[in-house]
Amino acid sequence: MTEIPRETFSLGGDLPVSRIGYGAMRLADGPEPARSAMEAHIWRAPADRAGAIALLRRAVELGVDLIDTADAYALGANEELIAEALHPYRGDVTVATKVGVVRPSPTEWVTHGHPAYLRQQAELALRRLRVERIDLLQLHRIDPGYPLADQIGALKQLRDEGKVRHIGLSEVSVDELRQASEITPIASVQNMYNLAAREHDPVVDHAAEHGIAFLPFFPIAAGSHAGPGSPLAEVAAEIGVTPAQASLAWLLRRSPTVIPIPGTSSITHLEENVGALSVKLTDDQYDRLSGAV
């Protein structure tokens, strides 16, 4: 595979990472086969553990240095898998994790933002990841049952104790991001965003304006938007790349602080996704994709 150019963004102003990361949620199994990525149960460690470890190591070989996980993915087994594959982490590998969601069953994701719970889960993440400090700790969801200041305050306390380097949020609005930023610096925001799901355009713009990393999950447009005859398929054919690569290239151009974190359990797809760093859209191609919603 040809060498991939290294284009970086500095998380929190001091932690440079490549502009395509890896979302590790897909490295999990459920009690039954998932009908789609959106319906995956993310309940147990993968049956093919060796294959998952090989994929994580291949990602690092390709220059992927931001690995995103959560304590809720396979009840912590996802964090343990990352540690088994990559620890001791090279100096340029950044691991981000999330706290604030409870998993009482394979199909339930329950927001829980009690400050003591958030701190406890961070302590467990430190053990599972085998680190003394988490590079990026993200609040998985804001819990309306507790004051935002208390939830962000719990993460700030961990950072003040030296257990967290940077703090991020997930699935938030511009107003929520502003409120959190008044309490402590926010290094990243992770919302669902892709060519076909653009409701968080204002958050993308706000993040760019304030130097905050925007980590879109499910970043690759799918369905009819990427089907035969679609603008995405047409642009991809013009460049000679896959629709997935064109979709990621649009995100990379959309904002200089966007860092897509596509997930996959296939090394072939992983290599395809990282290859999007080499794809350049013309102004016309970018505009056609931007208007094709």
Give the tens place of pLDDT for each residue, 68-126.
999 999 999 999 999 999 999 987 899 999 999 999 999 999 999 999 999 999 999 99
pTM of the model: 0.95
Say what the pLDDT of residue 2 is. 55
Q: What is the pLDDT of residue 227?
A: 80
**Rounded CA separation 274/21 (Å):** 8
Q: Are 177 and 203 in contact (CB under 8 A)?
A: yes
pLDDT reported for residue 86: 98
Model pLDDT, residue 221: 79
pLDDT of residue 4: 67
Q: The domain 8-219+255-263: what is its CATH number?
A: 3.20.20.100
**Domain residue ranges in the chain:** 8-219+255-263
Residue 22 among the catalytic residues = no
Q: Among 22, 73, 146, 193, which one carries the catalytic annotation?
A: 73
In this predicted structure, what is the pLDDT of residue 36?
Answer: 65
Q: Are 166 and 12 in contact (CB under 8 A)?
A: yes
- What is residue 229's predicted lDDT score, i.e. its pLDDT? 86
Q: Tell me if residue 67 falls in helix, strand or coil.
A: strand
Picking from 213, 208, 281, the residue whose alpha carbon sits closest to that of residue 245 is: 281
* Whole-number Cα distances in Å, 162 to 132, 133, 292: 8, 7, 45
pLDDT at 120: 98
Show the low-confidence residues of the chain (pLDDT under 50).
1
Helix axes 174-183, 148-160, angle to 10 degrees: 50
Listing DSSP states for 163-212 in one string gives SEEEEEEES--HHHHHHHHHHS---EEE-B-BTTB-TTHHHHHHHHHTT-
Burial of 16 (0-12, 13-18, 19+ CB in 10 A): middle
Specify the DSSP class assigned to residue 63.
Answer: T
In angstroms, the CA 234 to CA 18 distance is: 28
Whether the CA torsion 257, 22, 25, 12 is positive or negative: it is: negative
